[in-house]
Amino acid sequence: MVQQNMTQERLDATFSALADPTRRAILARLASGETSVSELAEPFAMSLPAISKHLKVLQRAGLIERGREAQWRPCRLAAAPLKDASDWLEHYRRFWEESLDRLEEYLRELQKKEKKNARKK
């Protein structure tokens, strides 16, 4: 149960982190490589403290990591939680899509058989 609550908290943090467009933009930027906070702040009309706040949220959600290298503490992506969540929704859709592909194939075979039988009659 404790384990489950921890997962719950982590997932809640992930989703509230993702709910903000600036934070999603930060993630997209980090997808092309690690970078410093000041570089991250550049494209946004935001102060460094404001960006730092967003980074803290992302970090708490386990979506990014900060390096320990003293001065510039680079940010990088730690995208596993994000991937899990999107995988789930996609997986359900994919399950249906692939089943329906097979259904299509099956119906085609069935139709062929029926036509053959009709000709025999």
Does 89 bind other proteins (CB under 8 A)? Our answer is yes
Choose which of 50, 87, 113, 115 interacts with other proteins (CB under 8 A): 87
Size of site (CB under 8 A) for other proteins: 45
Residues in the chain: 121
Nearer to other proteins, 39 or 87 (CB): 87
- As to burial, measured by CB atoms within 10 angstroms (0-12 exposed, 13-18 middle, 19+ buried), residue 54 is buried
In Å, the largest CA–CA distance within the chain is: 85
Does 35 bind other proteins (CB under 8 A)? Our answer is no
The residues that bridge with 35 in the sheet, in sequence order, are: 75
Question: What residues line the site for other proteins (CB under 8 A)?
Answer: 4, 7-8, 11-12, 15-16, 18-19, 21, 24, 27-28, 31-32, 77, 79, 82-89, 91-108, 110-111
